[in-house]
Structure 1
């Protein structure tokens, strides 16, 4: 994992890093969030869950083997934005999984917990999937 983080002040935090296309990257992304962004309690756990879903989707549907994913965590005042970029062309869209399905509920979870989410193109192949979450003030 490469890391390039910057903490501007306690109300404006920006962390950017890359992760390999590997299942362990989901936990690593959560660790970086918890270590570098001031989000105690429930907002921190919600942000960690949302980030887990974004990274899992990028690994499962977006990044071919050998391609890293890029993660940006940006907190400004009462809002955090989580972004995950991958090289895949598959655009995420909510679906209704069957009762026996083990997958397919991630975007429903994102829609339920995030204040907003979307998909944007990125420079080069692939896309950026993002979520925003309202959080209370600083430390």
Structure 2
């Protein structure tokens, strides 16, 4: 991944972190930032053209955090079985594990280049 593309991932991570803090959802920072990093990295690496378009949307509604990452690539995301020596190929596996651990779900919308993730927001204590 080019340095400029890697910087894009970091910028998105900082924006998402700021929004989570603003919404009072700092408890979700670590897992959500991991998911965002993986989804945006995949989008940047698999867009149709170098410097292609990647859009990230973050919505908090009805007690759930919705993350959508859209790119202009044509491939479909899929969890891979990366070997023990592989240096890549674990991103969607991590997304799957983290969202499941949080009681959420993830997937993709056919024909749109969008990968989405929905994470329930923990209720505030008394």
TM-score (norm 1): 0.75
Instruction: For residue 23 of structure 1, give the secondary structure of its aligned residue in structure 2.
Output: helix
After TM superposition, where is structure 1 displaced by more than 2 Å over at least 4 residues in a row?
none
The question of 1:36 aligning with 2:19 is answered yes
**Superposition map of 1:1-139 within 5 A:** 22-37=5-20, 38=23, 39-41=25-27, 43-114=28-99, 115-120=104-109, 121-122=111-112, 127-137=113-123
Aligned length: 113
The structure carrying a bigger strand percent of its residues is 1
In the superposition, the TM-score normalised over structure 2's length comes to 0.82
Which one scores higher on RCO, CA 8 angstroms, separation ≥ 6?
A: 1
Asked if the contact 1:77/1:137 (under 8 Å) is kept, the reply is no
SS of residue in 1 equivalent to 2:5: coil
The 8 Å contact of residues 106 and 116 in structure 2, kept in 1 or not, is answered as yes
Q: Which 5+ residue runs of structure 2 have no aligned equivalent?
A: none
